[in-house]
A and B are shown apart, each in its own frame.
Chain A
Amino acid sequence: MTSEGTRIAITGAGAVTPAGWGMPLMLESLRNSKPLETTSLCMPGNDESAVYLRREVPKADNKESFLRHPRLRRASSSGRYLAAAAMEAMGDDLKHSVSSGDTRLGIVVSCYTGGINYSQRFYREVLEDPATASPIIFPETVYNAPASHLAALFGSSEINYTLVGDESQFLTALEIGANWLVDDEVDAVLVAAAEENNWLSAEALSLFTRSSVLGEGAAALLLERCESPEVELELITDMFTFTGKCPRKDALHSMRAQLPGGKIAEVLFEGGNEGHLWDSWQGRRISVREIFGEGFGVSVAWACAAAAGLMKSAEVNSALVSGSGMNQACAATLFTGNSSSKTD
């Protein structure tokens, strides 16, 4: 085993947001702190249905050659977002090293709603006439289709998980990826999440909150073992599940208790589901939800990618991401840079 003293570096990050395709556009939007423009969304083919607000990912640049990969031609929107974020996170050298079999790449993807547009379309066809429902769409409705496309895109035969749950599960994915590296299961891990806009999700969200704006996109982090990381995964707290015995408030306090005291980080990425937990936070704070919309499973992933991006550009030297989910669990993660005071 190589577990003693293992340090994990975030060596790449990628993002697709309503601001556009790529980390620079995401970071620019967050620096501006101005919520992006919204468009309306209603039930397809029914102009009289309820109208919801959303923030859409702009159309992709057709010059992006990887989007013409056979696996991505019919991929869902979220699958394409995921691929773009993953491509950005992986450097060219690593892509070559994985495809040539020199580097073992593990993949962990988390999602909340999955490929909901295809699921909705396929089920509509089934209700109309199951005998003519499209066999091309069905496989893309399966939760792990996007993660499978990543494996094909990069030529990885290694372990590949898709996790389903609320947005906190991106941190479970991050934990799994980090532990795969600690256990020497693989040499690098791509941890990613993606979601896509859909009127069913918008309608569902409206049942619980009137003010939310739907968002969509993807984010990816590349994790590798490193002795002197530029951006380090310092810690992930335990995952605290919300139950009757441990309601959200208690879970959040347990999460907070596992974080270091004093000034934890220069910037806090708050999730929006934490109540008053961070009221006394005195440093900079960023809410990706306010800028990009309700991203469901991708919200925490955006925050982590943004944290890594800001640290990479030396804008901040430490970042805390508070990942409280809608209804499942909460956890937090701390990233530190070269010169920040370490917590151990």
Chain B
Amino acid sequence: MGFRSKAIRSSGAHRVVITGVGIITPMGLGWKANAAGFRAGSCAMKPVSLFDVSNQKAKVAGEIRLPDNLPATRLNPRQIKRIDRAGAMLFNATGEALEKSGWELNKIKEPLPVCLGTSAGSMQLGEDYYRAAVEGKSRRGQAERVNAYQTQRQALNLCEGFGISGPVTIISNACSSGANAIGHAFKLVSMGYANRVLAGGYDALCKLVFAGFDSLNALSVTSPRPFAVDRDGLALGEGASLFCIERYDDAIRRGAIIYAEIAGYGAATDQHHLTQPHPRGDAALISMKKASVMAGLNPDQVGYVNSHGTGTPLNDSAEGCAINRWAGSSVESLAVSSTKGGIGHLLGGAGAVESAICLMAMEGGWVPPSAAIDRLDPVCKFDLVQQPRDLSKIAASLTNSFGFGGANATLIFKRGWK
């Protein structure tokens, strides 16, 4: 990595594959539990228990049930005690991803880059620090809170815990952070800057962010119903998904299981408004087009689209419009769903978790259904999947992630093989 002027690099892009996936969401811990939940279209939303929401309009969210213990790592008990909720998610997802990948970290000679996406980082600890500072009674514990609150600390803990030594890049592009992190990792490997990267996204629920979305009237006071004509907002959730990403040639050489090939990545910026998408989804269309051109796929070759599909009036109409424009004449047969009705919007974790869902769908031959709705928004010219559906041979899938600030990202995966 680094940069050297006039450096001569081998020409041509490397094929890039995913050889390890770890996931934790309100559906559960691990690939199996999540695949079962998403396939069935389960709903894991429940009343918020992590903080007081009695004065908020919205009352539900997708909370994770964390296991009692972290996966085995090099951390000592004192270090483990300092891991916050978001950090614990990160450890759980990483542990599974590394185990699946077969990467032997102690045998990897070159630095292993880590690329993470998060929007809130360890905001819960920041809240704790703020309250203690305002009370001003004692500075005891404040240094530890400040240290642990810094977003890079979670990534550094991860490196420490798993014995990873490589550059850490944290992309905070709001709700597209996770997709951008995977996309960035893909580019690093594809363009020859790294042989392998650990990448993904995560976010934990916290009061500040919950209240923020509530203040914007963006949270549903009923239940999130993406693409329903009477949708009234999103629900928040929390979770993480991590990926072991490496060169196809290396994966083949070591006989690794390949979960998917990352075929395309597109990123674009919507200049329309800080929190509102362009009504016709112009930037979303750009990111989808960039990804599909890079993947060398036409829309009719993409078997499933995991939409950003938040359930807010503005997002779904803009995204729906963008999907229609992107798919063109093949729109009617395009299977689309949003999985946010079941687990909520995971913010910085959304792009990563929804990428994992795409991989599960391709491996299992099914499409995760959206929350069932009575009346479809007329923008849905595509096939919005609302009931569990088996769909064998999904050769490629696409996931969209759109965030505040107009951060738009699209990833396209081709089905893996074992």
Contacts and interface: CB of A to CB of B under 8 A. Distances in A.
Interface of A: 1, 3-8, 43, 46, 49, 71, 107, 112, 119-120, 122-124, 126-127, 129-131, 133-135, 138-145, 147-149, 151-152, 155-166, 169, 172, 174-176, 178-179, 182-183, 200, 203-204, 207-208, 232-246, 258, 327-329, 331, 344
A123 B130 contact: yes
B270 A207 contact: no
B169 A163 contact: yes
Contacts of A141: 208, 212
Contacts of A151: 269, 271, 405-406
Interface stretch (B155-163, B335-343, B376-384, B388-396): B155-163
Interface of A is mostly: mixed
Given A127-B131, A142-B404, A207-B146, A238 B269 contact: no
Interface in B115-154: 118-119, 121, 126-127, 129-131, 133-134, 136, 139, 142-143, 146-147, 150-153
16 contacts: A3-B8, A130-B55, A130-B215, A131-B55, A138-B211, A139-B216, A145-B405, A148-B274, A160-B267, A160-B269, A162-B172, A169-B170, A200-B133, A235-B3, A245-B165, A329-B167
Nearest to A255: B2
Query: A183, A237, A241: which has the most chain B beta carbons within 10 Å?
Result: A241
Contacts of A245: 163, 165
Closest 4 CB pairs of A and B: A148-B405, A239-B167, A138-B212, A143-B172
**Residue of B133, B146, B163, B271 most packed against chain A (CB within 10 A):** B271
Contact of B130 (A165, A179, A200): A200
Contacts of B4: 235, 344
B152 A133 contact: no
A91 B9 CA distance: 31
Interface string B310-334: 0000000000000000000000000
Contacts of B271: 151-152, 155-157
A145 B9 contact: no
Nearest to A342: B5
Given A145-B274, A158-B268, A179-B191, A164 B170 contact: yes
B2 A207 contact: no
B273 to A, nearest CB: 9
A6 B191 CA distance: 14
Contacts of A172: 167, 169
Among A130, A133, A234, A236, the most chain B Cβ lie within 10 Å of the Cβ of A130
B156 A241 contact: yes
Nearest to B57: A131
Nearest to A173: B169
A235 B180 CA distance: 25
Contact of B3 (A5, A124, A175, A244): A175
B121 A148 contact: no
Nearest to A108: B171
B168 interface: yes
A237 B4 CA distance: 8
A157 B268 contact: yes
B160 A135 contact: no
Interface residues of B, number: 80
B269 A148 contact: yes
A182 B215 CA distance: 43
A71 B273 CA distance: 8
B228 interface: no
Scoring B1, B12, B268, B274 by chain A CB atoms within 10 A of each residue's CB, the highest score goes to B274
A8 B4 CA distance: 10
Contacts of B214: 130, 133
A4 B8 contact: yes
B407 interface: yes
Contacts of B130: 120, 123, 200
Given A163-B172, A200-B133, A327-B153, A129 B160 contact: no
B131 A175 contact: no
B120 to A, nearest CB: 9
B49 interface: no
A179 B165 contact: no
Given A4-B11, A179-B191, A130 B142 contact: no
B386 interface: no
A239 B171 contact: no
Given A207-B139, A243-B160, A244-B160, A162 B173 contact: yes
B187 interface: yes
Contact of B269 (A46, A159, A164, A166): A159
A303 B283 CA distance: 34
A130 B215 CA distance: 8
Given A7-B6, A183-B187, A164 B152 contact: yes
A122 B210 CA distance: 12
Given A148-B405, A327-B152, A204 B146 contact: yes
A130 B283 contact: no
B166 interface: yes
B111 interface: yes
A126 B129 CA distance: 15
B306 to A, nearest CB: 21
- The residue in B3, B164, B174 that gathers the most chain A C-beta atoms within 10 A of its C-beta is B3
A122 B216 CA distance: 13
Contact of A179 (B13, B118, B193): B193
Contact of B191 (A174, A183, A241): A183
Nearest to B290: A159
Contact of A139 (B12, B268, B275): B275
Contacts of A145: 274, 404-405
Nearest to A237: B2
A149 B7 CA distance: 34
A236 B269 contact: no
Contacts of B286: 157
B403 A144 contact: yes
Contact of B174 (A46, A144, A157, A238): A144
Contacts of A174: 3
Given A183-B191, A239-B2, A327 B156 contact: yes
Contacts of B404: 139, 142, 144-145, 148
B80 to A, nearest CB: 14
Given A144-B404, A148-B405, A157-B286, A241 B167 contact: yes
A107 B215 CA distance: 29
Given A157-B282, A164-B170, 15 more contacts: A3-B191, A6-B6, A126-B207, A130-B207, A135-B216, A148-B405, A148-B406, A156-B271, A162-B405, A163-B169, A239-B2, A241-B165, A327-B150, A329-B168, A344-B6
Contacts of A165: 151-152, 168-170
B217 interface: yes
A342 to B, nearest CB: 8
B6 A123 contact: no
Nearest to B212: A138
